[in-house]
């Protein structure tokens, strides 16, 4: 008898092995399902992360645009305030009845 035949005789038949460990297949199935659940959770988490990152980027762009608008409006308010201050000063010094302050109004 050669080595290959001796090795085959020494190995247990698969039916004997599965008979001794009937839950092994169930354990593999549970492990496969658990691994699939973990993979799905990781994929969903990655998708949510990408979505949130895009959303944050969009919000940052919106905030920058609104900040520019606020600065522009503040500049306009400052200009109007200066113009009104000049009109009030003119009215206080020259008087409203002389008509000298009308050219200061925009």
The pLDDT tens digits for 38-51 are: 999 999 999 999 99
Q: Is 48 a domain residue? A: yes
pLDDT value of position 12: 64
Q: Is 27 a domain residue? A: yes
- Domain span at residue 81 reads 14-104
pLDDT value of position 6: 73
Return the ∠ at Cα 92 (arms to 79 and 101), rounded to 5°. Answer: 60
pLDDT value of position 104: 60
Q: Is 95 a domain residue? A: yes
Does position 67 have pLDDT exceeding 80, yes or no?
Answer: yes
DSSP the chain: --HHHHHHHHSPPHHHHHHH-TTHHHHHHHHHHHHHHHHHHHHHHHHHHHHHHHHHHHHHHHHHHHHHHHHHHHHHHHHHHHHHHHHHHHHHHH-GGG-TTGGG--
Query: Structurally, how many domains does the chain consist of?
Result: 1
């Amino acid at each position: 008898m050669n080595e290959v035949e001796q090795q085959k005789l020494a190995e247990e038949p698969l039916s004997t092995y599965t008979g001794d460990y009937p839950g092994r297949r169930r354990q593999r199935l549970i492990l496969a399902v658990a691994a699939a659940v973990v993979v799905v959770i990781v994929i969903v988490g990655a998708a949510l992360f990408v979505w949130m990152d895009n959303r944050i980027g969009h919000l940052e762009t919106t905030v920058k645009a609104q900040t520019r608008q606020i600065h522009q409006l503040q500049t306009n308010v400052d200009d109007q305030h200066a113009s009104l201050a000049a009109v009030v000063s003119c009215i206080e010094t020259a008087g409203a009845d002389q008509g000298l302050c009308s050219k200061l109004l925009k």
